[in-house]
Amino acid sequence: MPPSPATDPFADILSTTNAHRAQHSCGAYPYDKGSLLGVLAAAVKATRIIEVGTALGYSALWLAHGAPGAQVDTIESDPEHVRIARQRCIDYQMSNRVHVHHGDALTVLGGLDPNAYDLAFFDGFAPTPQLVTGLYQRLRTGGVLVCANLTLGPHNADDLLADPDAWLAHSFGETAIAVKR
């Protein structure tokens, strides 16, 4: 059964993202645990959040919803996804808090503040050591990384989060959650 607005305030974006992907054969697969992102954003009392892989804005809006005071920087390389996501942020009156950056993740990450973010969510294509390192550098000590898509590429959570001096990590299914030491 599809999620309803009663349990998922962004259910319409979830369904339009799936429809968009079916039409365009693109990589816009919405994260299937939106509420987990909202819960984590609330639990860490996030004030600054960073995301790689906006698609049409589903997970970015869940992150902003969970932490009502937070600013969210989200990065997306597909210009049509950027256009739609920015419009959805306006529709949900979150465009003052959710900033959709257009470009390649590694490039955009390099221009964002280091040691500044409370929560990071990776949901681009496959996580690479370079991207995880880029997010590590943006997180403050004690900040939390949620890394999706662990089964898409050659790297698993043990590879990506191998250094116990850098991360305290737990993985389940395709997702890892790790705290920056």
Ligand X SMILES: C[S@@+](CC[C@H](N)C(=O)[O-])C[C@H]1O[C@@H](n2cnc3c(N)ncnc32)[C@H](O)[C@@H]1O
Give the position of tokens 């004690």: 142
**What is the separation of C-alpha 40 from the centre of its chain, rounded to a whole number of angstroms?**
12
Q: Under the criterion CB under 6 A, does residue 53 sit at the interface with ligand X?
A: yes
- Using only C-alpha atoms, the chain has a radius of gyration, in whole angstroms, of 15
Q: Under the criterion CB under 6 A, does residue 77 sit at the interface with ligand X?
A: yes
Measured CA to CA, the distance from residue 48 to residue 144 in angstroms comes to 11
What minimum distance in Å lies between the beta carbon of 104 and ligand X? 5
Measured CA to CA, the distance from residue 180 to residue 165 in angstroms comes to 9
What minimum distance in Å lies between the beta carbon of 80 and ligand X? 9
What minimum distance in Å lies between the beta carbon of 118 and ligand X? 18
What minimum distance in Å lies between the beta carbon of 170 and ligand X? 20
Measured CA to CA, the distance from residue 92 to residue 17 in angstroms comes to 16
For residues 4 and 141, which CB has a smaller minimum distance to ligand X in the complex?
Answer: 4
Measured CA to CA, the distance from residue 20 to residue 12 in angstroms comes to 12
Query: Binding residue for ligand X (CB under 6 A) from 20, 30, 48, 70?
Result: 30
What minimum distance in Å lies between the beta carbon of 4 and ligand X? 18
Under 8 Å CB-to-CB from 131, ≥6 apart: which residues? 52, 105, 106, 109, 122, 124
Kindly identify the residues of this chain, within the stretch 97-136, that bind ligand X according to CB under 6 A.
104-105, 123-125
For residues 91 and 163, which CB has a smaller minimum distance to ligand X in the complex?
Answer: 91
Would strands 71-76 and 98-102 be described as parallel, antiparallel, or unpaired? Answer: parallel
Q: Under the criterion CB under 6 A, does residue 81 sit at the interface with ligand X?
A: yes
Residues that bind ligand X (CB under 6 A): 17, 27-31, 53, 55-56, 58-59, 75-78, 81, 104-105, 123-125
